[in-house]
Amino acid sequence: MSITINHLTHIYNAGTTFEKKALDDVSLEIQDGEFIGLIGHTGSGKSTLIQHLNGLVAPTSGEILLNGENIHQDKNRLKEVRRRVGLVFQYPEHQLFEMTVYKDVAFGPTNLKFSEDKIRKNTISALEAVGLGEEYYDQSPFDLSGGQKRRTAIAGILAMEPEVLILDEPTAGLDPKGREEILSLIQEMHQKRKMTVILVSHSMEDVAKMAERIVVMHQGKVVMNGTPKEIFSCVEELEKMGLAAPQVSYVVRALREKGFPISPDIFTVEEAKNALLALLPHNS
């Protein structure tokens, strides 16, 4: 599903001293099946932008088109928009409320008035996708570990069968193992289920590794938009905005300064490993 954002502006508390322009004339085109990394400093407008995409927040001016259709055209269809554009909030485990894991995941499909059969099918397949087996169905979500809670919450979105999956810092506050689990889950959703993914993240490593295109926001505006290579080669600009390039690219840069013939376009650990191995004499 393609998303088109036309001249989107959002002002919080318009007309008071608390007035704040969160989005300033944002235009963006997202193709079906793309994996977008959305980065930006705290308060750059990322969260406000993604809340517009499923109609939780209405634009002050401008429009959002899903497959060419304005999402605010018909108020009765907003629910359908929210089904198709699944939004996983930051710390999604804070929204868990049901007695059991199963019931919590079924909350979304039930709200959408799916048939009994479809609710069961979707709930089970979503829990399976996040790697929570049958032994978890009847547990209280509050007894799970942090990573499991988060996966339960993500399953709650997946059970609605979204076509676009938006995640706001899905790995924040998780241990390395939990992070890895969530990231590979997202990767799988993108590759196997062909979902369009928008990943908001502060981890340049994650974004460099996973995203096909990176959008950089600063003070409510989209300031950069391009492939990871294009974005991360402008290190100085990123640093000015309080961002950075992936750590490994600094290692690569230092190596180049020492005279190693290594490509400057290396932004993931995997790429760096391969490039360094290629540099080593083969008999080692």
Partner 1 sequence: MIRDITLGQYYPADSPIHGLDARIKLLLTFIYIVTLFFVNGLVGYVFVILSLAAVIRVSRVPLRFMLRGLKSIVLIIIFTGLINLFMTPGERVIFQWGFLTLTMEGVLFAFQMCLRLVLLIIGSSLLTLTTTPIQLTDAIETILKPFARFGVPAHEIAMVMTIALRFIPTLLDETDKIMKAQQARGADFDSGSLMERAKSLIPILVPLFISAFRRADELATAMESRCYRGGEGRTKMYVAKMKRKDYQAVLLGVVYIACIFALRYAVSAGIPFFV
Q: How many CB atoms lie within 10 A of CB 143?
A: 10
Nearer to partner 1 among residue 126 and residue 231 (C-beta): 126
- Would you give the DSSP letter of residue 173? T
Q: How many CB atoms lie within 10 A of CB 86?
A: 24
Nearer to partner 1 among residue 12 and residue 137 (C-beta): 12
Q: Which residues contact 154 (CB under 8 A, 6 or more apart)?
A: 88, 92, 130, 167, 170, 182, 185
* Least distance to partner 1, CB of residue 52, Å: 12
Q: Is 45 in the site for partner 1 (CB under 8 A)?
A: no
Binding mask 4-43 for partner 1 (x = CB under 8 A): ---------x--xx--------------------------
Structure tokens at 21: 């322009």
Of 53, 49, 14, the C-alpha closest to 223 is 49
Q: How far apart are CA 106 and CA 97, in angstroms?
A: 12
Binding part of the chain for partner 1, among 82-90, 211-219, 224-232, 262-270 by CB under 8 A, reads: 82-90
Q: Is 164 helix (H, G, I), strand (E, B) or coil?
A: strand
Binding mask 85-124 for partner 1 (x = CB under 8 A): -xx-x--x-xxxx---------xxx-xx------------
Q: Which of 156, 178, 228, 246 binds partner 1 (CB under 8 A)?
A: 156
* Contact set with partner 1 (CB under 8 A): 13, 16-17, 51, 54, 56, 79, 82-83, 86-87, 89, 92, 94-97, 107-109, 111-112, 142, 156-157, 160
